[in-house]
Amino acid sequence: MTDTTSNQMWGGRFAAGPDAIMEAINASIGFDKRLAAQDIAGSRAHAAMLAATGIISDSDAEAMREGLLTVLSEIEEGRFEFSTALEDIHMNVEARLKEVVGEPAGRLHTGRSRNDQVATDFKLWVRDQLDAAEAGLLSLIRALLVQAEAGADWVMPGFTHLQTAQPVTWGHHMMAYVEMFGRDLGRVRDARERMNECPLGAAALAGTSFPIDREMTAKALGFDRPAANSLDAVSDRDFALEFLGAASICAMHLSRFAEELVIWSSAQFRFVALSDRFSTGSSIMPQKKNPDAAELIRAKVGRIFGANVALMMVMKGLPLAYSKDMQEDKEQVFDAADNLMLALAAMDGMVRDMVPQRAALEAAAGAGFSTATDLADWLVRVLGMPFREAHHVTGSLVAMAERKGCDLPELSLEEMQSVHGEIDASVYDVLGVHNSVASRMSYGGTAPEQVRAQIARWKEILE
């Protein structure tokens, strides 16, 4: 049996409604009901504009606007019954509005289409997510600055290939993530500025013959301007793709940091202690404290990047203007936004709670011949040796220390001079890890003075 009443907005074009399968594939209310607040905001702005331009009466517009608030309160309070037969959030709201205010509801759709309506709703929703991402990133950056400032002169090993490379400071390492999340912040702000054009009034694809005021609706909804081309306005989903692109890069950064926290909190490293709030135990091993929050953050990039690829594939072959394929634009974005916000909040909490283990960091900083480059630089600077020769001499000294089972500062002067006779006692001034980091005074370097300068710069940026 078919339902002949389920698609009355199609008028008399179709003699029978879709069967259950068509209804299931065609309906989007199961997920686009998340756009309810944005849909109602857009409709209220549209109704006000229709009255201001004389297209409908003031009394009809007022009835619509008040009725829409009633519908919104029903949705927010969980009293609204969504209908799959009505397909989407737009028709569900309009049908209920008709029940609430009667005949004036039929005039609400004058001068617009579901095409520009959904583009407007979705833009408003994505804009809200960009604002939420900005707030989350700002909070995380501030948490990192607190960690950086507390440990601006704490030494720790720096790694390349996950092998000990050169000593750095804890503050310097934290500031590296400040820079990374700072770029994410820039991408979010840039995407928001570019997407802030209003599609409402583009109608189905060609605009409308009604004397609407698109500047008025754009301003009412917080947009900078109306979108300049009606075809583009209804078919554009770049704003969602830009959000997903920025979210993917941010999630990748979160994943990299999460990976370090997993490593650092292990018994083999003990660089940080994570709080109980962001750790779990084992069902069988009572000694375990698992960094589950970090591991789950590490996994989020897969679904967020997957959403980016999925929407790109939906959009890549579509001719202008609107196609029903574009109904598949929302679920992936909803999921990506939910998971990005969750990952940002979890990382923020972990950073605020984590306790760096200064003694363990310092002990590890001097291991693995981490000051070998300082020795090579000393040979160049003090003895005037070509760097390639200094590299060779230093390598020989590292090999000697390795055979003896000691670190470079533990070699005697006589042992060093057996490799190169001009080495003198002042070489020991550069071999300590604190001397090493203090010497890295180039702009952006790890010297505590430079780290504090970068912290001050970021504080000024945030203010």
Annotated catalytic residues are 161, 282
Region class of 203: left (phi > 0), else alpha (psi between -120 and 50), else beta: left
Closest CA to 189 of 141, 127, 101: 127
| Residue tagged 């071999």 (tokens) | 431
Residue 158 DSSP SS3: strand
Q: What is the rounded distance in angstroms from the CA atom of residue 177 to the CA atom of residue 198?
A: 35
Beta-sheet pairing, 272-273 with 155-160: unpaired
Cβ atoms of residues 439 and 447 within 8 Å: yes
Residue 272 DSSP SS3: strand
- Helix extents (H) in 102-237: 114-150, 170-195, 214-220, 230-235
Residue 290 DSSP SS3: strand
Q: What is the rounded distance in angstroms from the CA atom of residue 321 to the CA atom of residue 183?
A: 33
| Residue tagged 């009505």 (tokens) | 86
Closest CA to 435 of 153, 151, 149: 153
Other CB atoms within a 10 A radius of the CB of residue 64 amount to 27
As a whole number of Å, the CA-based R_g of the chain is: 31
Reported as half-sphere exposure (CB side, CA atoms, 13 A), residue 298 has a value of 13
Cβ burial of 161 (10 Å; 0-12, 13-18, 19+) is: exposed
Q: What is the rounded distance in angstroms from the CA atom of residue 382 to the CA atom of residue 441?
A: 18
444 alpha carbon, distance to own chain's centre:
25
Helix axes 387-404, 372-383, angle to 10 degrees: 140
Cβ atoms of residues 392 and 375 within 8 Å: no
Q: What is the rounded distance in angstroms from the CA atom of residue 192 to the CA atom of residue 204?
A: 25
